[in-house]
Amino acid sequence: MVKPSLRTKSVGTKVTQEEYAELERTAQAAGKTIGEWCREVLLAGLNGQLAKDQPSHGTEAQALMAEFIALRTILLNVFFRVANGEALTSEQMQKLIDRADADKLKKALERLKHDSKSAGA
């Protein structure tokens, strides 16, 4: 009989309270502890796969959605200012771009996750 390999090494990271809460919710939804869920996701990522309970959106879809969301954020802000007769300086435009880029992937993943839940309902 072959002995299973013992897990003797550990990997850790620091997260914010909000990130931890999201990890906890996601792990609970999958019926796993945070450690089990994180291990599965890490190893799946290492192997270039998605974990069993992860959305099946490819990186291309994620990247495209992120860019669309950033572009939408920028355009809506610019149109709103123009419609209100406000001029936009280069510095203000750069701040809009930076703000849109800062959380575009997070928003894209949320949107894709929401769309997946809506499609399955």
CA distances from 92 to 73, 95, 104, 108 (A): 14, 5, 18, 24
Q: Which helix (H) or strand (E) holds 101?
A: helix 90-102
Res 51: pLDDT? 52
Domain ranges of the chain: 15-54, 56-121
**Contact indicator for 37, 30 with CB cutoff of 8 Å:** yes
Amino acid at 97: I
pLDDT of residue 94 exceeding 80: yes
The structure tokens listed for 113 are 């996750």
Q: What is the pLDDT of residues 35-58, one digit of tens each?
A: 998 888 888 777 655 555 555 556
Res 75: pLDDT? 94
